[in-house]
């Protein structure tokens, strides 16, 4: 009789702990969702305020709609369109209900497509890009979404590197596939490293740069890689450069 009672008590305690955990998780999710809405509102407000003040100045005759003033408005519209497209990609990548395509693919082709899509940008800067690959690496996954992962990582390597090299290493080990993208750019401080995958997080240095990002790129990378059962890792030295690695299970 006594033993049964103790078991009951333990069970009740366990259920209590589980309920507390659930309540904490729900609270945390609510907080996250609230933050996301606040962040989106903030990101939308900045370009819209610029456009609004320009239009008002044109209407009031304070300013003439000169090509450079119209260009400012156009840049802000492009920023908004980019932000909305990033948000759509993020929500698609984070939504577990959306099925990933399961295609048999060659990862090297994914990397080359990604490199080609940013090749024009690289030409403008004195940056070299080399892909190191020994053999074709086969895997199953969603081709388009994987291109998105590497375009985002390469774009960052390019955005945050003034000069030097970007290198991509494709390697296959017995239990996993690894792609590393290294750059000789700004690097990331140890204090900032834990936050870079959070939605809307932008590093101190990046916020002051006119790169136009909204801090969603790496959140998309993480969500897509994890949806493939993989993981992401980063090593970085401030002022020296960064190594971003993506691992996929075999």
**Contact status: 90 vs ligand ADP (CB under 6 A):** no
DSSP single-letter state for residue 163: S
Residues in the chain, how many?
250
Span interacting with ligand ADP, options 65-73, 98-106, 113-121, 217-225, rule CB under 6 A: 217-225
Cα–Cα dist 147/156, whole Å = 14
Total chain residues near ligand ADP (CB under 6 A): 21
Cα–Cα dist 6/12, whole Å = 10
Considering only residues 156-195, where is the footprint of ligand ADP by CB under 6 A? Answer: 156-157, 160, 183, 185-188
**Contact status: 214 vs ligand ADP (CB under 6 A):** yes
C-alpha separations of 65 from 52, 75, 77, 78, 80 in Å: 13, 15, 16, 18, 21
Cα–Cα dist 209/68, whole Å = 20
Q: With b meaning 16 or more CB within 10 Å and e meaning fewer, what string describes 176-185?
A: ebbbbbbbbb
CB of 126 to ligand ADP, least distance (A): 17
Question: Which of 137, 170, 206, 224 is in the footprint of ligand ADP by CB under 6 A?
Answer: 206
Span interacting with ligand ADP, options 6-14, 49-57, 106-114, 208-216, rule CB under 6 A: 208-216
Q: Between 111 and 196, name the residue whose CB sits nearer to ligand ADP.
A: 196
Cα–Cα dist 226/197, whole Å = 12
Span interacting with ligand ADP, options 46-54, 68-76, 122-130, 199-207, rule CB under 6 A: 199-207
Report the interface residues with ligand ADP, using CB under 6 A: 156-157, 160, 183, 185-188, 196, 201-203, 206, 213-219, 242
């Amino acid at each position: 009789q006594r033993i049964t009672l103790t078991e009951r008590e333990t069970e009740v305690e366990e259920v209590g702990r589980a309920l507390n955990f659930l309540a904490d998780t729900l609270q945390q999710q609510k907080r996250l969702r609230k933050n996301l809405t606040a962040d989106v509102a903030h990101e939308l407000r900045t370009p819209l305020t610029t456009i609004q003040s320009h239009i008002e100045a044109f209407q009031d005759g304070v300013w003439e709609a000169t090509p450079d003033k119209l260009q400012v408005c156009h840049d802000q519209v492009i920023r908004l369109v980019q932000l909305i497209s990033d948000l759509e990609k993020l929500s698609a990548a984070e939504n577990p209900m959306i099925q990933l395509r399961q295609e048999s693919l060659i990862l090297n082709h994914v990397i080359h497509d990604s490199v080609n899509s940013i090749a024009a940008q690289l030409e403008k800067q004195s940056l070299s890009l080399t892909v190191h690959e020994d053999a074709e690496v086969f895997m199953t996954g969603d081709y388009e979404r994987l291109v998105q992962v590497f375009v985002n990582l390469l774009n960052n390597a390019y955005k945050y590197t003034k000069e030097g090299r970007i290198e991509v290493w494709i390697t296959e080990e017995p239990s996993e596939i690894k792609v590393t993208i290294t750059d000789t750019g700004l690097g990331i401080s140890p204090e900032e490293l834990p936050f870079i995958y959070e939605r809307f997080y932008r590093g101190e240095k990046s916020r002051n740069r006119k790169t136009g990002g909204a801090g969603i790129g790496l959140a998309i990378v993480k969500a897509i890689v994890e949806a493939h059962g993989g993981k992401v890792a980063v090593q970085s030295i401030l002022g020296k450069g960064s190594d971003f690695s993506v691992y996929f299970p075999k």
